Amino acid sequence: MTKKEKANFIIKKLEEIYPEVTIPLLHKDPFTLLVSVLLSAQCTDKRVNQISPLLFARADSPEKMIRLKMEEIENIIRPCGLAPAKSKAIWNLSKIIIEKHRGNVPQSLIELEELPGVGHKTASVVLIQAFGKNAFPVDTHIHRLATRWGLTSGKNVIQTETDCKKFFPEMLWKKLHLQIIYFGREFCRARGHQIEKCPICNVVGKRG
C-alpha cells in the first residue's frame, strides 16, 4: 500500500470505530481548555478531569486565577504532577492574558506558544478545539501510531505533524486527531501491542 492508500484506509476504519468523538478533557471555554491541556502533561485525562473542577470552582477565568496565590493553585493541582511548575505557568499565563490580550485567550499559534507552559501541542489543541483553526496536534499516541503505520519516519513530533498533515485532509484534522488518540489507547498501546489483533496495524502496520 502507498502512504496515501494507508491514510485512506485509516480514515475509513477510524470512522467506523469512532463515528463520534469529543475532547476528553472537561472544559467550558478556551481558558479552561487551555488550563486543562496544560495540566494533562505527564498526567492522565481521567486524573485531570477529577482535579480541574476543583480548580475551576475557585477560578475559571484569568481574572479569578490571579486572585489565588500560586501555592493555592499548587495545592489543588498536586495530584496531576509537576505541580510547582504547572501552578506557576497557570498563574503567569493568566496574568499575561489579562495584560496583553484583554482577558481573552489568544487565537494565534505564535501568541499561544508565548504563554508560560504552553508548547506547540497544547497551543495546537486550543487552536483547533476552542477556535476551529487549522491544526493537527500530535501527542505521544499519534506519534507512535503514525510511525507504526509507516506514515512518518518517527524522528520527532514536528516531522510527524508535517507528514500527517500531508496525508490526511485538512477538513478531517479536528476529528481525526482525537480518533487516533482514542484508537491508540484502546487498540494500539505502547506496550503489549499485538499486531494481529489491531484493526489497523494488521492491515497497514508493522511490529513494534
Gap between the Cα atoms of 148 and 4, Å rounded: 15
Residue 50 · residue 38 · CB < 8 Å: no
Tell me which residues are annotated as active site: 121, 139
Q: Where are the alpha helices (DSSP H) in 81-172?
A: 83-101, 109-113, 120-130, 140-148, 157-167
What is the Cα 48 distance to its own chain's centre?
13
| Residue the block writes with cell 467506523 | 16
